[in-house]
């Protein structure tokens, strides 16, 4: 029975791609917190989301890790290193060494530390060439999890989120349905009974023509890819002026989810 949960990470854990009615994001961690809170007496559950989009592993360790360690919750989810792996020239072996030091610090104070792997990017145009690098890092994450007894939220093996309908229009972040399926899988990882199957098949779609696919790709490149490259060239991050969501009420999360459902 988990009474307190702290989410640590980057845009994935912040919930980018899953907007609420006020423009702020919900995301899998918030949805997962609701699943956990529903198993506790009313008012007997604490949840804090420290994640901020665009953050690298060292930034997460510096800004979020001390707060998570201080709170010493029953559960911490730790998703970090993905933005490092996407950067040219980074060594997944070296990133994994820093990842392990963070896990060692968390497991010394938290009841359970759940780690996440990276996605399988074979269907993502800009990132599919990094698939081998991501797989290498995932191998390290699983090995670290084995050494420290951490449950693993394996996003690589979650087949349902490989469907394009699981993703936001930017093709880099999950949409609301994708985040929902990850939250359900997180519940399964901890042995909870969840209200739906995260691998539930998607409805069949009619085939798409070459011209339609090409038109979508051009629009995506103009709207998302060019600005993303521009930020990289300028050394900017999408999270430079973003503040973590902090303490959240599961009841408020439910209301925000219901209002956009």
Residue 55 reports pLDDT greater than 90: yes
Position 133 scores a pLDDT of 97
d(CA 208, CA 186) in angstroms, rounded, equals: 32
Residue 237 reports pLDDT greater than 90: no
Position 169 scores a pLDDT of 85
Distance in angstroms between the alpha carbons of the first and the last residue of the chain: 28
Whether the CA torsion 162, 163, 167, 171 is positive or negative: it is positive
Kindly report, residue by residue over 158-209, the tens digit of the pLDDT. 999 999 899 998 888 999 999 999 999 999 999 999 999 999 999 988 887 8
Give the predicted TM-score (pTM) of the model.
Answer: 0.92
* pLDDT, mean over the chain: 92
CA 231 to chain centre: 21
Q: Residue 236: which pLDDT band, with cuts at 50, 70 and 90?
A: confident
Position 145 scores a pLDDT of 98
């Amino acid at each position: 029975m988990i009474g307190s949960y702290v989410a640590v990470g980057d845009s994935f854990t912040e919930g980018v791609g899953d907007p609420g009615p006020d423009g702020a994001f919900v995301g899998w961690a918030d949805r997962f917190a609701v699943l956990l809170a529903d198993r506790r007496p009313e008012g007997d559950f604490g949840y804090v989301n420290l994640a901020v989009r665009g953050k690298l592993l060292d930034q997460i360790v510096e800004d979020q890790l001390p707060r998570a360690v201080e709170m010493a919750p029953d559960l911490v989810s730790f998703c970090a290193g993905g933005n490092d792996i996407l950067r040219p020239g980074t060594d997944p072996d070296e990133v994994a060494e820093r990842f392990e030091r963070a896990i060692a610090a968390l497991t010394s104070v938290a009841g359970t530390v759940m780690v996440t792997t990276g996605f399988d990017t074979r269907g993502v145009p800009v990132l599919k060439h990094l698939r081998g690098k991501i797989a290498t890092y995932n191998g390290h994450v699983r090995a670290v999890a084995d050494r420290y007894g951490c449950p693993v939220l394996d996003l690589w093996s979650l087949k349902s989120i490989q469907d394009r309908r699981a993703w936001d229009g930017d093709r880099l972040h999950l949409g609301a349905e994708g985040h929902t399926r990850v939250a359900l899988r997180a519940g399964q990882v901890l042995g909870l009974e969840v209200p739906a199957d995260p691998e539930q098949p998607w409805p069949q779609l009619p085939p798409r023509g070459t011209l339609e696919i090409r038109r979508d790709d051009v629009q995506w490149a103009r709207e998302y890819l060019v600005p993303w490259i521009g930020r990289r060239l300028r050394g900017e991050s999408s999270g430079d002026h973003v503040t973590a969501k902090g303490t959240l009420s599961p009841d408020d999360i439910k209301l925000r989810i219901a209002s956009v459902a």
